[in-house]
Amino acid sequence: MSDDLRNQLLKAGLVDEKQVRKAKSQKHKAQKTQPKKKKGKPADAEASAAAARQAEQAQRSREKNQERQEKAERRARRAQIRELVNQHLAPIPTGDAAIDYHFQFDGQVRHLPVTEDTRKRLVDGRAALAGLELHPSKGFRVIPRDIADKIRERDAEWPLVIPAEESGGSEPGPDDPYKDYVVPDDLMW
């Protein structure tokens, strides 16, 4: 109601002061609940831009969560591999029982002291050499072949040397002049 109409109704006695205040407060409440219209951009463009930003943020957060989850899974797999290696490693012999076993890893010839029985198991393919950590500088230890296969299934990057597999590819070619001279696997230097 406008002020003039209110005043006229009050003077005529059709409404009292209480009813005028009540009508005024209801009008004020109704205006507050209605959304204000913004000038400039239409509401549709603004809503679509907000939805696009929200979708982009959701996509980024999904990607970050997936990266975190993959990193945690890699860490867990590597911890399992470390535990497998540490549980199944053969002790390093000392004294007269120790024989140096030479093997090649990443283009370098390395050596590890082993017993005669362990050397035979390595040559036969019943044992393998596994790195203690992902970095081969920590050293290698002898483990059973089935454990080496489990490690390879979990992480193909883990440093493993399986001598039986490596010696299989060293067959002489047809034009090799030394093909008639076989070098034994158990040759001691």
Residues with Cβ within 8 Å of 74's Cβ and at least 6 positions away in sequence, in order, are 155
**DSSP annotation string for 61-98:** HHHHHHHHHHHHHHHHHHHHHHHHHHHHPPPPP-GGG-
Instruction: Identify whether 16 is part of a domain.
Output: no
On the question of pLDDT at 104 being above 80, the answer is yes
Confidence (pLDDT) at 64: 95
Instruction: Identify whether 115 is part of a domain.
Output: yes
pLDDT digits (tens, 9 = 90+) for 74-89: 999 888 888 888 888 8
Q: How many domains does the chain fold into? A: 1
Confidence (pLDDT) at 103: 85
Confidence of residue 106 (pLDDT cuts 50, 70, 90): confident
Instruction: Identify whether 189 is part of a domain.
Output: no
pLDDT digits (tens, 9 = 90+) for 22-57: 888 888 888 888 776 655 556 678 888 888 999 999
Instruction: Identify whether 21 is part of a domain.
Output: no
Mean pLDDT for the chain overall: 82
Instruction: Identify whether 11 is part of a domain.
Output: no
pTM of the model: 0.55
Instruction: Identify whether 182 is part of a domain.
Output: no
- Domain coverage including residue 80: 46-168
